[in-house]
């Protein structure tokens, strides 16, 4: 049966000297199988000058490819996913980073696992993203999206910010804290986890709100419906301009009196995994669950 993925986009970010060799090996394998390849332009320098690939900017690949393969860590996939999701192209992650919750194919599995997936032997799952807007005097002055989380925080200053939280226009609380993490299930194993938030299965349609060092012992994370409209009002009496960060990569800046509106995006990301992929197995491996137990 012919592969359902005729045109494959390859994206990533070089981290070390071994990256180029892994990239070339994968591209050679894909070319030998007869796939048309579109390689992200930033990877051009690590490839042979006579390579028979097309090159394109990241923003153009999603609309041309049947599948996107991202080589790198979770950060590389997060960055690519925000661009690719709007094209609804499925994404496969090859891990060249540390944890690899999203990029679950290791380099030593690359030449074995990818052909199986290209032949249709894979599992897919859908992940939703968040859209964050900074609103000033009733107008949107900045917008960004996130697969993991949107974080409103006090920045480098050792000061708290005071904000009010509204969910679906219903008042929840006024709080002084270092900030607030608004996380998808995908991001629940990232910054949210470090802040004391719960681990959420990726299939859940929910968002968790995790206060950062709140000035109240009773303040705890809240899990709400994924379709909720979340608004964070930065009170006018604040003296700092809190950064609003999406996936730890895209930054906006709010001012006292601004609001940050966070909602689910209409486009979803489709992730492909090898057959037998298990979120719980990933947690056991990456978070070292049961590591202290001895048979």
pLDDT of residue 2: 62
Per-residue pLDDT, averaged over 152-181, amounts to 94
Contact 52, 30 (CB under 8 A): no
Assign a CATH topology to domain 129-266.
Tumour Suppressor Smad4 (2.60.200)
Burial of 237 (0-12, 13-18, 19+ CB in 10 A): exposed
Torsion of CA 85, 86, 87, 93, to 10 degrees: -10
User: DSSP strand E in 73-137: where?
Assistant: 91-95, 122-136
Domain boundaries, the chain: 7-120, 129-266
DSSP annotation of 198 = P
**Nearest-angstrom CA–CA distance, 99 and 81:** 17
Residue 246 near residue 255 (C-beta atoms within 8 A): no
Q: Is 74 a catalytic residue?
A: yes
Residue 4, pLDDT score = 86
Cβ burial, residue 129 (10 Å; 0-12/13-18/19+):
buried
Average pLDDT, the chain: 91
How far apart (Å, rounded) are the C-alpha atoms in residues 272 and 112? 15
State residue 109 phi and psi, 5-degree precision.
-100, -5
Rounded distance between C-alpha atoms, residue 244 and residue 231, angstroms: 13
Q: Which of 264, 250, 106 is nearest to 185 (CA)?
A: 264
Backbone φ and ψ of 20, nearest 5°: -60, -40
Segment 211-253, tens digit of pLDDT: 999 998 889 999 999 999 999 999 999 999 999 999 999 999 9
Residues 117-126 pLDDT 10s: 999 999 999 9
Place of tokens 């050679």: 28
Kindly indicate the confidence band of residue 183, based on its pLDDT and cuts at 50, 70 and 90: very high
| Segments in the chain forming alpha helices (H) | 17-32, 58-61, 74-84, 110-118, 191-194, 279-286
Q: Which entry of 74, 104, 233, 247 is annotated as an active-site residue?
A: 74
User: Quick one: fold of 7-120?
Assistant: Rossmann fold (3.40.50)
- The 3-state DSSP class for residue 86 equals helix
pLDDT digits (tens, 9 = 90+) for 68-108: 999 988 888 999 999 999 999 999 999 876 667 888 888 78
How far apart, in whole angstroms, are the C-alpha atoms of residue 190 and residue 185? 10
pTM, two decimal places: 0.92
Tokens of 278: 């298990």
């Amino acid at each position: 049966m012919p592969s359902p993925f005729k045109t494959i986009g390859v994206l990533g970010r070089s981290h070390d000297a071994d990256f180029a060799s892994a990239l070339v090996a994968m591209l050679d394998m894909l070319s030998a199988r007869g796939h048309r390849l579109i390689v992200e332009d930033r990877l051009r320098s690590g490839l042979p000058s006579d390579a028979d690939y097309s090159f394109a900017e990241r923003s153009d690949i999603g609309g041309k490819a049947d599948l996107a393969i991202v080589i790198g860590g979770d950060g590389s996939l997060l960055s690519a996913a925000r661009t690719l999701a709007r094209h609804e192209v499925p994404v496969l992650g090859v891990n060249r980073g540390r944890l690899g919750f999203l990029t679950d194919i290791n380099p030593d599995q690359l030449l074995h696992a990818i052909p199986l997936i290209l032949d249709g032997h894979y599992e897919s799952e859908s992940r939703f993203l968040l859209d964050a807007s900074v609103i000033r005097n009733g107008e949107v002055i900045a917008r960004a999206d996130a697969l993991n989380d949107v974080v409103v925080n006090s920045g480098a200053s050792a000061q708290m910010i005071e904000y009010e939280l509204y969910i679906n226009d219903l008042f929840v609380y006024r709080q002084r804290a270092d900030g607030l993490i608004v996380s998808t299930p995908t991001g629940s194993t990232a910054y949210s986890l470090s802040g004391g938030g719960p681990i959420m299965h990726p299939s859940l349609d929910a968002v968790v709100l995790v206060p950062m060092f709140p000035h109240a012992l009773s303040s705890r994370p809240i899990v709400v419906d994924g379709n909720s409209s979340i608004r964070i009002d930065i009170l006018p009496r604040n003296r700092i301009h809190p950064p609003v960060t999406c996936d730890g990569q895209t930054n906006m800046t709010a001012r006292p009196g601004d609001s940050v509106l966070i909602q689910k995006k209409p486009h979803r990301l489709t992730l492909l995994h090898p057959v037998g992929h298990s979120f719980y197995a990933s947690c056991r491996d990456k978070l070292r669950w049961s590591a202290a137990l001895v048979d």
